[in-house]
Amino acid sequence: MRRYAPLIAVCLFVFIVTVVRVEAAKVDIHFFYGDGCTVCAKEHLLLAELKERYGEALEIHDYEIWYHPELKPLLFEMAAERGVEVDAVPVTFIGPRVWIGFDEAAGEEMIATIEAILTGASVEATSPSAIVRLPFGREIDLRRHSLVWATVVIGLVDGMNPCSLWMLSLLLAMIMRSGSRLRTMLVGITFLVVTAAIYSLFLAGLFSVFSYIGYLRWIQVAAAALALAMGLLNIKDYVAFGMGPSLTISEENRPRIYRGIRAIMAEESPVMAVGATAALAAAVALMELPCTAGFPMVWSSLLSAQGVSKATFVLLISLYMGLYLLDELIIFVVAAATLRASRVQERHGRLLKLGGGSLMLAFAGALLIEPEILNDLSGTLVVCAVATALAMTVAAVFGRVRRGDQMRP
């Protein structure tokens, strides 16, 4: 018996170590969510599957923070321990890693992290290469925010709305009669800066509203339904421009615009001309909102539904506004360089209405049916393809647009 004592001792030691390792190989998941958050609901399904797969080796701690704000300090404490800031849900902590938001890629990363912990492999915190540093020391993980593609498409198309293009081309055409390049540049820059600032505030306001109440499914449905109606009205303007209801600058506002432009032309002082331009731009920016409000609603609702944080919103709205202003900047630069400006004609406006309306319908439909399809480039391309097919079908059915008439905004 003594002869086997060392062997028994070794076996006993291995058994004890194995038991200790099994006891230690346990994964704790801390899941912070909001009741009514559609993205959170999708992660709930994954966590339920993982619990069934790993059994007692997986311990899930979930915290509902929208209706239980007393749990938020715990969220902020855990985030601070990992060196990140969070202001949106869902947020998931597994070991040293943290995920803000959820999509298929996040789910795969979570599973890989769980497997690594269970097998004793080392787990590193979120890769710094995926972190974007913002001013004032803020950071975000771009891998959780692939909505950039939807922002690119919507921002570009939103910027090509006929109301703003008509207004800018009209303003430049009349101001250039003075023959002064400096005056043209001052007026053009002032107009673009003021209208962009007001539109940015409008986008930020919508996002704030949707961030507070947008998690309610009926709010998302209502926003998408309104965008659908606006898209249909834009397509109607291609088919029957000037007939029935229309999302344009109203006829009663046009005299005010012309009076404002004449006031700018009458000012001899550059400072006074800039002030008059700013006042006109502010008024016009409000008049233009019905022309294009569908896109901001779709975009803001989409971002809030995906749990986008305020820090990420700052990046996305900067991208949105840069693309929104791109075509107007091109028109302005060409006009300032050549002192010649082209007017937007009715045929141009109708085509822009068709393209914008079709894309508005496609994005609103995606928001109603499957918002997550807009989380990556492939899904966004599918939506764009649907919009293109719709626009081509409408154009083929109703024939070519009329030519020659000046666009009435």
Task: Provide the β-strand partners of residue 91.
Answer: 32, 100
Q: What is residue 399's predicted lDDT score, i.e. its pLDDT? A: 64
CA angle 149, 154, 158 (to 5 degrees): 155
Average pLDDT, the chain: 76
Give SS3 for 132: strand
Q: Decide: 312 and 145 in contact? Cβ < 8 Å.
A: yes
Q: Decide: 224 and 214 in contact? Cβ < 8 Å.
A: no
Task: Provide the β-strand partners of residue 33.
Answer: 64
Cis-peptide, bond into residue 90, ω within 30° of zero = yes
Q: What is residue 407's predicted lDDT score, i.e. its pLDDT? A: 44
CA nearest 310: which of 145, 190, 170, 192?
A: 145
- Write out the DSSP string of 97-128: EEEES--HHHHHHHHHHHHHHHTT---PPSPG
Q: Decide: 81 and 125 in contact? Cβ < 8 Å.
A: no
Q: What is residue 136's predicted lDDT score, i.e. its pLDDT? A: 44
Q: What is the mean pLDDT of each run of 10 residues along the chain (409 residues)?
A: 54 49 70 82 90 90 87 89 77 88 82 88 59 46 61 85 76 73 82 89 85 65 81 81 70 76 78 84 80 81 72 86 87 75 67 81 80 67 84 78 46
In the chain, the domains with their CATH numbers are 26-144 (3.40.30.10), 148-398 (no CATH)
Checking 55-61 for CB contacts under 8 A at 24+ apart, the result is 56/26, 57/25, 57/26, 57/27, 57/118, 58/26, 58/27, 58/29, 58/114, 59/26, 59/27, 59/28, 59/29, 60/29, 60/31, 61/28, 61/29, 61/30, 61/31
Distance CA 305, CA 342 (A): 41
State which H helix or E strand residue 46 sits in: helix 38-54
66-107 pLDDT, tens digit each: 788 889 889 989 988 888 777 677 889 998 888 887 877 788
* Terminal Cα distance for the chain, rounded: 101
Which residue's structure tokens are 């559609």? 38
Compute CA 11 distance to the chain's CA centroid, rounded to the nearest angstrom. Answer: 60
12-52 pLDDT, tens digit each: 554 544 444 444 568 999 999 988 777 788 899 999 999 99
Kindly report the pTM of this predicted structure. 0.62
Take residue 404 and report the two structure tokens written for it: 């020659």
Q: What is residue 408's predicted lDDT score, i.e. its pLDDT? A: 47
State which H helix or E strand residue 61 sits in: strand 58-64
Q: Is 291 left (phi over 0), alpha (psi -120 to 50) or beta?
A: alpha
CA nearest 128: which of 97, 104, 86?
A: 97
Q: What is residue 132's predicted lDDT score, i.e. its pLDDT? A: 45
Take residue 364 and report the two structure tokens written for it: 């609103």
Q: What is residue 137's predicted lDDT score, i.e. its pLDDT? A: 47
